[in-house]
A and B are shown apart, each in its own frame.
Chain A
Amino acid sequence: MALANGSHDTMSASGTPAASDDIIICRDVTKWFGDFQALRGITASVKEGEVVVIFGPSGSGKSTFIRTINRLEEHDGGTIIVDGVELNNDLRNLERVRSEVGMVFQQFNLFPHLTVRRNITLALSHVRHIRKAEADQAAERLLQRVGIPEQIDKYPGQLSGGQQQRVAIARALAMQPKIMLFDEPTSALDPEMIKEVLDVMRELAESGMTMIVVTHEMGFAREAADRFLFFDEGQIVEEGTPDHFFTNPQEERTKAFLSQIL
């Protein structure tokens, strides 16, 4: 893959909040689950078209963090601004943000009672109010893009894990989001299916999509990412380019973790 590294040279060394081309801005975000503090003041920002990979030990708050970005988790403190809209209790803001942010889950979360076609067109029909024929066309086009056009009339239960995750990506893309969030998209997959999903994600990154990816697939991360965030105990411990992490990590915790997963 010669293409992959060259395509995102606009690297931001460190997210400087409030810069004009930042599409996601997080300032001092905190989150509590009862007595447990999952996020201890996260400050980060993502530029348009940037691919950010988040990694870290389990329970470090990486999933919680990306789930606050489309408000599947409500943050308790700090500010999150997505494409100029601050996330708060205002429902209209929430709808705007959610239709601009696509999300792909570890467990796929396809709707098992609907066909692949309906899974993809559901939100187009009921959120965007697009006519059925157009929505169907979009579904066909997206399945073509993720490489499984022939599965359109099957049910999710009839597909392999890798195929299901590709449908999930197509479903999220149907809303034409500006930002895609991936929450450990390959962790529930058998090894031989991981590549087909990563290929789709790589293609997406090359097309200029803004992506935040929680993953431990370091090969993919090194190729596709512009920037790494290393999470531990609810904080960003270290931040930098992939090269920085692979050649010259600074923090002890980062080194220890990298030595375990590489």
Chain B
Amino acid sequence: MTTQARPVPTRSPIDVAIRWARENLFSSPANTLLTIVALAFVAFALFSTGRFVLVTAEWEVVHTNRRLFFIGRFPSDELWRVWVIIYVLSALAGASIALWTRISPRYGVLLGVLLVPVFLFIDGGRVALQAAGAVGAFAIAYGAIAAAPTGVATGPLARNAAAVAWLAFLPFTWIMLRAVDNLLWGGLLLTIILSVVGISASFPLGVLLALGRASTFPVVRMFCVGYIELIRGVPLITVLFMALFFLPLTIEPNREVGVGALQLPLTGYGWMELNTVLRAMAAITIFSSAYVAETVRGGLQAVPRGQVEAAKALGLGTSRILALIVLPQALRAVIPAMVGQFISLFKDTSLVGIVGLTELLATARQVTAQPAFIGRQAEVLLFIALIYWLVAFTMSRASQQLERSLGVGER
């Protein structure tokens, strides 16, 4: 036995690449033809997109209307409210990541720092400064927890406090934004508000519906099955219209509901517009919870019966078995499907434009109707597509991180 390693013939990366191409792209005449056609197509697509983005496009329409895209007609005097919310959210996120997960904060900070020059480019120094502040809040909260003595970070006190803070966050946001007329909420701000409310309301509701569907009480089960099947059989746009017609939460006496309500955002007064936003939130929640319920049901069915039997044999009661054994396993198993559902909810908020709210897509339509920017649809649509994609992609990455930190598929 010789211990001397035989010299491995070194091959340059170029050799490897050529060889790979020969084997995979040019292995036969038909393959070669296919490769050339595909390459030509890709080159053409890249070239024309690049030429449009860099040469043909007139990005002035985006730059001029940047405020509309992000916050709609939200008054600048009240803009601090949004920033306070972003600051609190950043700090909460930083603290929670340090408390509960093994996710590295690198990516969050990196993303934030990368976005700062983008803001600088879009809107001068002020927004960039605020954004930098938000990144700072995230980093400080994370650092504070990470640097604290281990007893604090892992103890129940800090975690309970953070959980309470999260529960209080939505009401807090509502109180902060309530001062501003709903009519003025718009753009990405409205899109995100609708999504966050829709997600945070439809998740618990969907879990309850899924449990109800598995219930042994026939009345509960039939109600849940009926609800889920009814809602799943109807398009979201129908639910949105129905919410406007059939969910008049507070109706001013003598005011006509119905077709008139559809025009409310254009003609009505403050509190009535609140209704329109609230109703849109209700419609999105009603719709999404049926889908969440079916996703969760899949997770519930994936938990083996032996798990429940083992828990019963230990003397645990039904509610404890659900909370400690079944739901943690069921929800973990459906994180990918659930996040998919939430990403489509986020994109589906674009439908509320039809009932008169000016979220991101509706803003885009308004902008392209401006006399100064006739014919600039392509620029505007490309821009909002980029925004939608950025948010959706971030959600998808966050879900992957969450799966990894919970060890889905490993245990």
Contact = CB atoms under 8 A, between A and B. Distances in A.
A123 B315 contact: yes
Interface residues on B, range: 20 to 34
Contact of B324 (A126, A168, A172): A126
B329 interface: yes
Interface string A97-136: 0110111010101111100000000110011000000000
A122 B314 contact: yes
B411 interface: yes
Contact of B306 (A98, A109, A122, A155): A109
Given A99-B315, A101-B313, A127-B315, A107 B411 contact: no
Contacts of A99: 314-315
Nearest to B323: A126
Contact of A109 (B307, B320, B332): B307
A123 B317 CA distance: 10
B125 interface: no
B46 to A, nearest CB: 46
A112 B314 CA distance: 16
B316 interface: yes
Contacts of B411: 112-113, 155-158
A127 B313 contact: no
A122 B324 contact: yes
A72 B314 CA distance: 11
A-side interface mostly: mixed
A102 B316 CA distance: 12
Interface residues of A, number: 27
B316 A127 contact: yes
A70 interface: yes
Given A105-B306, A113-B411, A157-B410, A98 B328 contact: no
B-side interface mostly: helix
Interface in B291-346: 304, 306-307, 309-317, 320, 324-325, 328-329, 332
A6 B38 CA distance: 82
A227 interface: no
Interface string B389-411: 00000000000000000010011
In this complex, the member of B312, B313, B325, B411 whose beta carbon has the largest number of chain A beta carbons within 10 angstroms is B313
Given A122-B324, A157-B410, A157-B411, A109 B316 contact: no
Contacts of B332: 113
A111 B320 contact: no
A175 B328 contact: no
Contact of B315 (A105, A155, A168, A175): A175
B310 A98 contact: no
Nearest to A157: B411
A156 B407 CA distance: 13
B315 A111 contact: no
A72 B312 contact: yes
Interface in A156-202: 156-158, 168, 171-172, 175
Contacts of B304: 107, 109
Contacts of A95: 315, 317
Contacts of A112: 329, 411
A115 to B, nearest CB: 10
A113 B323 CA distance: 13
Interface string B195-209: 000000000000000
A127 B310 contact: no
A70 B310 CA distance: 11
A43 to B, nearest CB: 24
In this complex, the member of A103, A113, A122 whose beta carbon has the largest number of chain B beta carbons within 10 angstroms is A113
B291 to A, nearest CB: 24
A211 to B, nearest CB: 15
B324 A70 contact: no
A101 B314 CA distance: 8
Contacts of A102: 313
Contact of A111 (B307, B312, B317, B410): B307
B328 A113 contact: yes
Nearest to A122: B324
Contact of A126 (B310, B312, B316): B316
A180 to B, nearest CB: 11
A175 B314 contact: yes
Given A111-B325, A122-B324, A157-B411, A98 B312 contact: yes
In this complex, the member of B314, B317, B328, B411 whose beta carbon has the largest number of chain A beta carbons within 10 angstroms is B314
A64 to B, nearest CB: 13
Contacts of A168: 310
Nearest to B328: A113
A109 B321 CA distance: 14
19 contacts: A70-B312, A72-B309, A72-B312, A99-B315, A103-B313, A109-B304, A109-B306, A109-B307, A110-B310, A111-B310, A111-B325, A113-B328, A113-B329, A113-B332, A113-B411, A122-B324, A123-B315, A155-B407, A175-B314
Q: Which 10 A-B pairs give the minimum distances between C-beta atoms? A: A109-B310, A99-B315, A123-B314, A109-B306, A103-B313, A157-B411, A98-B315, A127-B315, A155-B411, A112-B411
Given A103-B310, A113-B328, A126-B324, 16 more contacts: A95-B315, A95-B317, A98-B313, A99-B315, A103-B313, A105-B309, A109-B306, A109-B307, A109-B310, A111-B325, A122-B324, A127-B314, A155-B407, A168-B310, A172-B313, A175-B315
